[in-house]
Amino acid sequence: MNRTTALAVAGIALLALATGCSDDKQVTLPSGSTPVGESLPAATEQPAGDPATGDSPMGSCHVTVTGYVNAEWTSEGGAKSVGYGPWIPQAGGTTAIGALDESFFILNCKGPGESYIGFGPVHKAKIPMQPGTYTIEPATNVAGSSENGIITAMLGFDGTDTNWGASAQGQLVITAFDDQHIAGTFTIPVTDVLTKLSGTHKGAAVITGEFDYANPV
């Protein structure tokens, strides 16, 4: 299952559930990543995403990408964008997608085409319902996610024909998290993680965003 499919399935699973039921550390981010190879292809411009959806009752997430990829989009909240075990009625049980406890945590910001960024726990780590700062560790696999840390990021950019992942430590800062909503910001330096396999480096970028999603259940 590829990265986009995995995130989509997780969101759809939460939607079905909702319908059926009535040691953190701060880091100083680097200014960017050092390109690999002698030269880089020209930067890729992507079309803007959907019109701003900040007035949606479900909230929104706004993403900006600068560097080799230049893109910006705003995604709307809802069950495909955010999910948390304790938000679901009768949480604490076990389903086909796992336990509905603090380890069930999904935060997605979907852009146009294959552009997206999503966050989830590493090794079923439990994410408490409270503000916190989480270090996003550099990618450790060709999918672009990391096996280290508490929360990892998965991302993709439409039209780039490669996989992307964190090139250095980034941050996910949750500024508010209760039974009504979750809000915060993120900043992650990213790079083409298939360079060693393809022999071609697609460049580096920095992805930043802010989100405020309502509990969709």
Can you spell out the DSSP letters for 54-92? TT-TTEEEEEEEEESEEEEEEEE-STTTEEEGGGSTTTT
Q: Which of 7-11, 69-73, 159-163 has the highest mean pLDDT?
A: 69-73
Per the structure block, which two tokens stand in for 209? 């965003």
Of 153, 145, 156, 155, residue with least CA distance to 171 = 153
Which domain covers residue 94, as residue numbers?
A: 3-214
Residue 60 to residue 97: CA distance in whole angstroms: 25
Averaged pLDDT, 64-72:
96
- Greater confidence, 64 or 19? 64
Collapse the DSSP code of 43 into the 3-class scheme (helix H, G, I; strand E, B; otherwise coil) and give the result. coil
Q: Which of 1-15, 43-57, 91-105, 193-207 has the highest mean pLDDT?
A: 193-207
The whole-number pLDDT of residue 45 equals 55
**pTM reported for the whole predicted model:** 0.75
- If one counts the domains in the chain, the total is 1
